[in-house]
Amino acid sequence: MKLLLLSGGSRGLGSELYKRYEQNSWLVYEFSRSAPHRNSVEVDFSDPLAAHAVFSRQFDQAAQQDWEEIQIVGNAATLHPMQPLAKMQAQELVANTHINIASALLFLSSALDTFQDHTCRKLLVNISSGAANKGYAGWSLYCGAKAALENVVRSVALEQQHLPHPFTAISINPGLIDTEMQAEIRATSVDNFPDVQKFYKRQADGLLRPPAQVAAAVANILSQPELTPGEVYKVDDVIG
Ligand SMILES: NC(=O)c1ccc[n+]([C@@H]2O[C@H](COP(=O)([O-])OP(=O)(O)OC[C@H]3O[C@@H](n4cnc5c(N)ncnc54)[C@H](OP(=O)(O)O)[C@@H]3O)[C@@H](O)[C@H]2O)c1
C-alpha cells in the first residue's frame, strides 16, 4: 500500500488531493484544524510544538509498517494577516510565522527523520507559490515563508543525495486556484492589499483553476519517475 501524509487537506487544493489519492487506494492522513475527513488528524499549526507532538505521533505509528511508496506533502498555509508589515499585531505576525514556517518545517523534518530508513520511493513536497519569487505589498510574511521553504527544500535535496534511502525533495507552484484563499484575497481592502483589483480581474477572466484540476496536475507531476531534487515544478507547465 502507498502512504500520503498531507498538511492542510481539509479544503481547497489539499481536500482534492486527499480525495484523489484515497480514490486511488492510497492511505491518506491529512492534518488540519477542521479535520473533516475520515483520516483527518486535528491539529493547529499556530502552536508548532504542540502540532509537532500530534503529527510525529501519527508518523511514528505509520512508520511501523512497510510501504510501496511514501509522499509527504506540506500544503497548509495562510495569508492572514494581509496588511503592511508595519501595521501587524505582534500576535498575528507570530501566528503566521508559526503556521507558514515553524510548523511547516517541523512537518517536513519530522517526516524525514521518521521515514528516512524506509526503502521505498519517497517524495518530500512543498506546495509553494509564485509569491516565493515576487514581493506583494500586504503579503510580506506569506512571500517570505514561501521563499524560505523553497530554499529549505533545495538544501534538503542536497542533504538527501548521498543517503542510502533518500527522499526526493521538490517544490510545486500550483498556480491560481479557485479556493477560499482567493476569496480571502478579494475580501481584503485596497489599503491592506493594493493589488486586490488584479485578483478580481483574474477571477472575472476565468484564470482561477478548479482545485480538482490542480490536484490532478500535482498528482501527475508527483507520479513522474524522474523528478529532479530541489526543483520547483509548475502546474502551469503541466496544464498549459
Ligand atoms: N489558491 C491559490 O490561488 C494558490 C496560489 C498559489 C499557491 N497556493 C498554495 O496552495 C496551498 C493550498 O492553498 P489553498 O488555496 O487550497 O488554501 P485554503 O483553501 O486556504 O486551505 C488552506 C489549508 O491550510 C490549512 N490551515 C490553515 N491554517 C492552519 C492552521 N493554523 N493549522 C492547520 N492547518 C491550517 C487549512 O485547514 P483548516 O482551516 O481546517 O485548519 C486548509 O486545509 C497553500 O500552500 C497555498 O499557499 C494557493
Write the pLDDT tens digit of every residue in 55-84.
Answer: 999 999 999 999 999 999 999 999 999 999
What are the beta bridge partners of residue 179?
Answer: none
Q: What is the mean pLDDT of residues 154-178?
A: 98
Cell of 221: 507531476
Helix (H) / strand (E) containing 74 = strand 69-74
Phi, psi of 7 (to 5 degrees): -95, 145
Closest by alpha carbon to 71, among 22, 34, 128?
22
What is the pLDDT at residue 205?
98
pLDDT digits (tens, 9 = 90+) for 77-116: 999 999 999 999 999 999 999 999 999 999 999 999 999 9
Alpha carbon of 148 to those of 100, 126, 217: distances in Å? 10, 11, 24
Q: Which of 179, 188, 196, 208 to mutate to test the pocket of ligand 1 (most atoms within 8 A of CB)?
A: 179
Cell of 19: 480525495
Question: What is the signed CA dihedral for 184, 151, 110, 92, rounded to 10 degrees?
Answer: -40
pLDDT digits (tens, 9 = 90+) for 119-147: 999 999 999 999 999 999 999 999 999 99
Q: What is the mean pLDDT of residues 184-189?
A: 98
Task: Give the three-state DSSP class for 18.
Answer: helix
Give the pLDDT band of residue 175 (cuts 50, 70, 90). very high
Q: Which atom of ligand 1 is nearest to the CA of 211?
A: 16
Scanning the structure block, which residue is given the C-alpha cell 501595521? 87
Kindly report the protein residue whose alpha carbon is nearest to atom 19 of ligand 1.
12
**pTM (2 d.p.):** 0.98
Give the pLDDT band of residue 240 (cuts 50, 70, 90). confident
What is the pLDDT at residue 123?
99
Q: CA geometry: angle at 118 spanning 112 and 120, to 5°?
A: 110
With both helix axes pointing from N to C terminus, report the angle between 90-97 and 140-160 in degrees, rounded to the nearest 10.
30
Ligand 1 binding pocket, CB closer than 6 Å: 8-14, 32-34, 43-46, 75-78, 99, 127, 129, 174, 176-177, 179-182
Domain boundaries, the chain: 2-177+211-235
Separation CA 182–CA 199 (nearest Å): 8
Query: What is the C-alpha end-to-end distance of the chain, expressed in Å?
Result: 32
Q: Given 2.130.10.10, 3.90.100.10, 3.40.50.720, 3.40.309.10, which CATH number is that of 2-177+211-235?
A: 3.40.50.720
